Amino acid sequence: MPDLASYLVFFLVVALTYALLCLGLALQWGFTGLFNVGVAGFFAIGAYASAILTGPDYPGQFGGFGLPIPLGWLGGMAAAAVAALAVGALTLRLRQDYLAIATFGVAVVIQLLALNLESLTGGAFGLGFIPRPLFGRFGSSTAFNLFYLALMTSLVGLVWLALEALVRGPWGRVLRAIREDETAAEALGKPVFRHRLESFAIGSAVMGLAGGLYASFTGFIAPQDFQAILTFQVWAMLIVGGAGSFAGAVLGAVAVWALWTASGALIDQLLPAAFQVRGAALQIVLIGVVLAATLVLRPRGLIVERAALSARAADGR
């Protein structure tokens, strides 16, 4: 396979990992109004949990359960969901900002644990030799990447369908009511707290799945994969794509990741070696500009959901 094509495959696998993160965040923010600024933390929980469950027995290291890889992914989802339930149970009854603070705290704590809890996470060196599904069957890493792209595509599709079924159904109807008027929803007998908590946990489970898939794609994870910049990227993707729909989440992920990758490549080409490090900051600035432009020109993102349109049309009567 030519270089460019195999690079494109690799690019898409990563983009679809981001797409999963965006789908989770779309449920939490777009459909529920939950301000999660700890996306990287839930991603990390899924990645580490999956790596520990499926990984080989390293000397002096907890884990090495060697479980089948899909079980690892489920474990990653469950771990992220449990973390979300704990954080949500503590903060979702309080004002909005508490959830933001708490999720930020989760990301920071997970980063610290990943760095310092060496017997569990491998510390700064991270965890390696994480099994990759059917890797031995494929002659080349390009073939494996192609297989993984197919896998990611089906899983993103599956998650998308599952979330769509949720928000289109009666459960989602309650969620929309809560988002619009919490007091009225409560007076109609809707348990607002429980619905928020469920939405938060399901969204986080999807982020955990993204983490597990990431770990078994790269075969190696380390704390620097889960820094705050990742949360910023995912938020930028969701806002650019449109937080009100899952299509927007997926589109935003691919579009912004393309921009991020292309600008990275350009900086590599154009900037002299001495400035490369500062080049990374330029990428962030660029995404920031795109984000600001979206907020000004198309505040609802590239894909505008139908419900919001009809509400707007009605307001303007």
Partner 1 sequence: MPGRGKVPPPREVELTDTPLLEIEGVSRHFGGVAAVDGVSFRLRGTPIAGLIGPNGAGKTTLFNLIAGSLRPSAGRIRLAGRRIDGLPPHRVYAAGLGRTFQIPRPFHAMSVLENVMLAPTGQRGERFWCNWLGRGAIAREERAIRERALGWLAFLGLDRLADEPAAVLSGGQRTLLELARVLMGEPRLVLLDEPGAGVNPALLATIVERLAELNRRGIAFLVIEHNMDLVMSLCRPILVMAEGRLLLEGDAASVRGDRRVVEAYLGGAAA
Residues that bind partner 1 (CB under 8 A): 162, 165-166, 169-174, 176-177, 180-181, 183-184, 186-192, 198, 202, 307-308, 310-311, 313-315, 317
Rounded distance between C-alpha atoms, residue 9 and residue 199, angstroms: 32
Q: How far is the CB of 172 from partner 1 (least distance, A)?
A: 8
Q: How far is the CB of 179 from partner 1 (least distance, A)?
A: 9
Q: How far is the CB of 93 from partner 1 (least distance, A)?
A: 11
Rounded distance between C-alpha atoms, residue 80 and residue 76, angstroms: 6
Q: How far is the CB of 177 from partner 1 (least distance, A)?
A: 5
Rounded distance between C-alpha atoms, residue 108 and residue 39, angstroms: 11
Q: What is the DSSP letter of 171?
A: H
Nearer to partner 1, 198 or 225 (CB): 198
Q: How far is the CB of 56 from partner 1 (least distance, A)?
A: 34
Nearer to partner 1, 9 or 23 (CB): 23
Nearer to partner 1, 9 or 243 (CB): 243
Q: Name the residue among 278, 145, 82 with its Cα closest to residue 286.
A: 278
Q: Name the residue among 296, 293, 274, 271 with its Cα closest to residue 282.
A: 271
Rounded distance between C-alpha atoms, residue 162 and residue 4, angstroms: 33
Nearer to partner 1, 271 or 308 (CB): 308
Nearer to partner 1, 55 or 248 (CB): 248
SS3 312: helix
Rounded distance between C-alpha atoms, residue 262 and residue 9, angstroms: 15
